[in-house]
Structure 1
């Protein structure tokens, strides 16, 4: 009946042994039970789900039966003014040169819903009108990272994070508020070990094909004062058509940003682009419900940093970086600085990796978290998911004047 409170119950996500207390104290991630029909969320249920998303960053619904139409409508509900277009656009992958091109298949009846995964998929309930078999390919670090694991290590179950990112075109369109990810078919028993291969010795046990998440709030909280001051004053500028621009470059072994070897595509060789479609965003995005600041930068696509000077009345110390402001355009300098700010938050104790079961639905706050796929699949191994995100009707909001005074 209208007006009744939703009968939703919540419980924490299952944190792995060794998870930092910071993740638990932030209450990152929540499991929700009690939704009557996930394809027809009531108004009161949605109000609570929306609050949970912005409060916890990740909302999981185990064992629900979802349709592409229901997924699209649930995703659209978080941004009713959005035009309903997939986050990368109706084409999404300019001239097939984008690094995203091999990984996505649009569901014909709901093009904003994408089929992703691995292997030959011949179940029509999954392919939803796509040609059968639909052959999918799970992205591999072997083609994206500068270095690759040995065949011997791979056989032992060693793997890597693929690419830490937010779901956003970072050109022409605004970053989606939420991504919904629905698991249909996947292995559920195999375990692998993510190895960071960056000299730290860091490793993380993960399920094969697990999706790893980190909190942008914690990414900011972990920064020392001098880097908090920098973050609250900084905007990042993305390259035009960043997924094409980065296509000839290679990633760091952690999947967190790119190596700087000068191999990015020149602007002259990119698909047609315009200056007014280039995206410049604050390094920190403000949570509309909690007011927290989230460090939200897609490290692979950043081209430069624009740093404001300290606010009036702010006093520089010996530790203050760029107190008079700066525009950093040296790509290696930009990437190294950004990496130093983001790397602490992807340390094993701050990562939650979801171990998927069939019919799990995950909603994640795309303006408050970063995520990456994990694992390496053989061509015959099957993995199938529906993913949906919608280009937003507005741009993310950065720190306000009070935030700048507090942290600068």
Structure 2
């Protein structure tokens, strides 16, 4: 059968006009048994649409790894590395990832106690929630009433030493059902978002850039971020904002002198905007919780200076200042009408362009609920490409 595409099943909260190109459901093919020609078509489709959904799949860890590797054949290490060193154990990600022994690029994630799974005798899985990461927590009464939060808006990336994966694949094996929940943004806007239990929320980095006013587009196209060394250890003692979009600035980040050994050459500095390899579009791709410094280049010669922000460039090291600027640029992109909260079914497979979207875990599971997912992404063989000189001239 030929590959068929249908729109994603959008919830009533989503504005369909913002999802004309973002996300497609793929029918007519088995993602575990694609021909070379079909694999190439899927590769191009993912970069065009940023997220692809396959329903009712049978997918082994070996098949998931092989499918993920199509997007970067020159790499084979899991996106955050496969080591079990003390450095990895000090990361805030450590409690949530269990490696499949025979395919270490694939991680077991989810919630609850899992027995005899793919060579793992027993796994105690924990679904991350805002209680693990936010500065403030919802009250027990609000949680009982069905309210929840985004956990952390992010890209899948080590943010140190390894390059961000091109694509992440998520495969739902056991998907507990329950009452819908409502995400509260709690940032003074009154924004809320009804979601299914345990949704994964996605937004388009391209849309995040395109909806910015011209003066912030100019900043974005000229800007680079420097991530803290061992960023997940650095942020582990701090608390996130209620929207999950970055950290509150309270001086609680772990001092660099207390981090695991690190090298300056392994610290990552990336452009704020990443260029899509197929469409050429620019995607706003910043993991706000890990940013330590922000560099803004001066306006190019001939650019209009009236009304411009940072016309002579800037190097921001004050965490409050740079976080406020990033939040101002990123917060519009997570508005309820722009979020695709995927309503998981068992045997759903979602591929997403990790260099083109941002995503967040959402929700809280109750006692006895067991959720089993396989996740795979691979540290890329090269770094992201930023705006071209022509892009800078166009948007600055």
Cα distance, 1:293 vs structure 2: 0.4
C-alpha distance in 2 between matches for 1:188 and 1:245: 35
Contact 2:226 2:292 in 1 (8 A): yes
C-alpha distance in 2 between matches for 1:311 and 1:336: 25
Cα distance, 1:120 vs structure 2: 0.9
Q: 2:120 is matched with which residue: 130, 134, 149?
A: 130
C-alpha distance in 1 between matches for 2:173 and 2:333: 30
* Alignment correspondent of 1:207: 196
TM-score with structure 1 setting the length: 0.95
* Alignment correspondent of 2:358: 370
SS at match of 1:32: strand
Is 1:91 the counterpart of 2:79 in the alignment? no
Contact 1:22 1:218 in 2 (8 A): no
Contact 2:55 2:349 in 1 (8 A): yes
Is 1:349 the counterpart of 2:349 in the alignment? no
Is 1:236 the counterpart of 2:231 in the alignment? no
* Alignment correspondent of 1:16: 11
SS at match of 1:288: coil
* Alignment correspondent of 2:185: 196
Contact 1:248 1:263 in 2 (8 A): yes
Q: 1:39 is matched with which residue: 22, 32, 36?
A: 32
Cα distance, 1:95 vs structure 2: 4.7
Is 1:80 the counterpart of 2:73 in the alignment? yes
TM-score with structure 2 setting the length: 0.98
Q: 2:205 is matched with which residue: 216, 227, 230?
A: 216
Deviations 1:151-203 (A, max 9, x none): 00100110000000000001000000000000000123421110111111100
- TM superposition outliers: structure 1 runs of 4+ over 3 Å: none
C-alpha distance in 2 between matches for 1:99 and 1:10: 37
C-alpha distance in 2 between matches for 1:92 and 1:388: 17
C-alpha distance in 2 between matches for 1:181 and 1:304: 31
* Alignment correspondent of 2:44: 51
* Alignment correspondent of 2:269: 280
Query: Where does the alignment leave 5 or more consecutive residues of structure 2 unmatched?
Result: none
SS at match of 1:111: coil
Alignment size in residue pairs: 395
* Alignment correspondent of 1:381: 369
Is 1:69 the counterpart of 2:59 in the alignment? no
